[in-house]
Structure 1
Amino acid sequence: MSVQVQKSFEEDKSGGSAYGKLYLVATPIGNLEDMTYRAVRTLQEADIIAAEDTRNTRKLLTHFEITPGKLLSYHEHNKAASGPELIRLIIEGKNLALVSDAGLPAISDPGSDLVKLAIEAGISVIPVPGANAALSALIVSGLSTSRFQFIGFMPRDNKERGTLLQSLQDEESTLLMYESPHRLIKTLDSILEVLGDREVVLARELTKRYEEMTRGTLSECLLWLEDHPPLGEYCIVVAGARPEEVKERRDAWWQSMTIEEHVNYYEQQEGSDRKEAMKKAAGDRGVSKRDIYQALL
């Protein structure tokens, strides 16, 4: 294994043809005043700007009176072909600035694949930091900021979403997630079902005119949403598991049992019917009865 050391701002003194650099440039998540002086300068000086949506980026450049270098498209659907081509241009000496539609590139974003290609090619990757929706929601949430875990977008598939949430049951750090308005309620229902009625903050339209933070328990926020339908993109901030809950679950009498043995226990020892036994086992394990049923098929 060889160690690779990047000296981001050290000039090439080899006399050979120096590679260009890959700049990861943060863009506003809503309020255009979040753009930093450094981000504007980097985009002004870049030979190439790679963007998730060139139409959105062109509007941003126009607003800041930036005359772009070559503006190229790089997104999830063309990254396999576009990525190596962008790397070739950097190797030829071009400085490339990568932007996403909003916030930091390479977070829940195909930019992470371009970063890997650049590192493999020995190209310097330089962050130009700025606004980030998840961290902005976290710091105003009122929940613990000492430890947190970024989940990104939750899986659309019910089973996959349930499996992911079950793996987070004993996670004591604050959880950060992104969600669209039309899937918000379904996602909150899943979190409530698997993780229990925890404290949650729903942050929407961050830095924009209609910025709003809704704070309460999951059940309270779901009730509130019945009269206030979701609008805009959301960042969900969920309190982590309490240490005493985690200890109680780990010390539970049924821990060594399979799901089948757990359900059989309630049937044989307490005389519960199959349906009631599955419900009790699901309650013990903090999962839905449907998950128990699926596991027993």
Structure 2
Amino acid sequence: MTYGDIYLIPVPIGNLGDITLRALELLKKAELIACEDTRVTFFLLQRYKIPVPQLISFHKFNEKQREGILFKHLESGKDLMIVSDAGSPAISDPAEHIVKEAIAKGIKVFALPGASAVLPALSVSGFTTRQFQFVGFLPQQPKNRREILQQIAEYPWTTVIYEAPHRILKLLQELYAACGNRKICICREISKLYEEHIYTTLEEINNNPSLVIKGEFCLVLDGQTIEGETASEDLTENALIDYIKSALGFGKTTKEISRMVCLMSSLSARDAYNLVIRTKQELEE
């Protein structure tokens, strides 16, 4: 059987001028577009004077139910275009599951580069971009949320987080409790008319919550600071030992801590492991 291809098409997160020429070309030739909200995509197509093909809603509440229809379309040899309301499909938006299923079926999946809040926010943050983690929206289930907050607290480089306007203050309080006083860049309304970047600290923003008003937020949190040294620097042995002691206190395994020490320093895997073992033995004495 010859399947059609899947194209994940990013659309602007704010400024409609940010769409790419290739995205427009693919949307023009589309016979079926799976979209988060058909009304939003209808407006987008009209804005670019593109004839509106068949649109089918495809969001987190019906993603699996819609896959049968979408795979039937692909089985006919026709290509499928997938778009979100804003940004890139499968990045904190629907499409992750269908991509996984498509790969299992041998269907080709192509993702166009383009709109996302992650890289613009990271670029303007002023923090290290050598390595970073993107955690998207934090889970709402308390246990899972605590685990992610602990992961953020222990990560030695920059972290990028999404949050909805009605939950932003709660998240800032949780980050302060978990991470202490770190630098943070709060990006609001990226690429929109009232785009704003707030450069502050977790302590300051929690003391002045009025600095954060309505908008779509992307938070960029500076990396873990140990003994006053940022994670973008090669840490001293004493600073690494302090980290190891802290990680052991959190119940991390020797393997997990050794891997993190390697990332935080220029130590080899063997030297990092030996440092963890030595520190562990000293604590047990």
TM-score (structure 1 length as normaliser): 0.76
Q: Conserved in 2, the CA contact under 8 Å of 1:214 and 1:221?
A: no
2:178 is aligned to 194
Deviation of the 1:229 alpha carbon: 4.5
Q: Conserved in 1, the CA contact under 8 Å of 2:27 and 2:81?
A: yes
Residue-by-residue CA offset, 1:83-102 (whole Å, 9 max, x unaligned): 12201211211111100010
Aligned-residue identity in percent = 40
Unaligned runs of 5+ in 2: 226-230, 252-285
Matched, 1:234 2:196: no
Say what the alpha-carbon RMSD is for the aligned residues.
Answer: 1.9
Counterparts in 2 of 1:257 and 1:183: CA distance versus 1, 3 Å: closer
Structure of higher CA gyration radius: 1
Counterparts in 2 of 1:22 and 1:230: CA distance versus 1, 3 Å: same
CA distance in structure 2 between the partners assigned to 1:257 and 1:45 by the alignment: 54
Unaligned runs of 5+ in 1: 1-16, 259-297
What letter corresponds to residue 219 of structure 2 in structure 1?
I
2:82 is aligned to 98
Deviation of the 1:158 alpha carbon: 4.3
Counterparts in 2 of 1:146 and 1:257: CA distance versus 1, 3 Å: closer
1:7 is aligned to none
TM-score (structure 2 length as normaliser): 0.79
CA distance in structure 2 between the partners assigned to 1:115 and 1:228 by the alignment: 39
CA distance in structure 2 between the partners assigned to 1:97 and 1:88 by the alignment: 14
CA distance in structure 1 between the partners assigned to 2:66 and 2:188 by the alignment: 33
1:130 is aligned to 114
Q: Conserved in 1, the CA contact under 8 Å of 2:46 and 2:52?
A: no
1:108 is aligned to 92
> SS at 1:130's partner residue?
coil
What letter corresponds to residue 157 of structure 2 in structure 1?
S
2:60 is aligned to 76
Q: Conserved in 2, the CA contact under 8 Å of 1:52 and 1:75?
A: yes
> SS at 1:168's partner residue?
helix
2:168 is aligned to 184
Matched residue count: 240
2:6 is aligned to 22
> SS at 1:166's partner residue?
helix
> SS at 2:22's partner residue?
helix
Q: 2:245 aligns with which of 246, 251, 263?
A: 251
Deviation of the 1:118 alpha carbon: 1.1
Matched, 1:173 2:173: no
Worse-matched range after superposition: 177-186 or 26-35? 177-186
CA distance in structure 1 between the partners assigned to 2:197 and 2:141 by the alignment: 27
Deviation of the 1:77 alpha carbon: 1.2
1:47 is aligned to 31
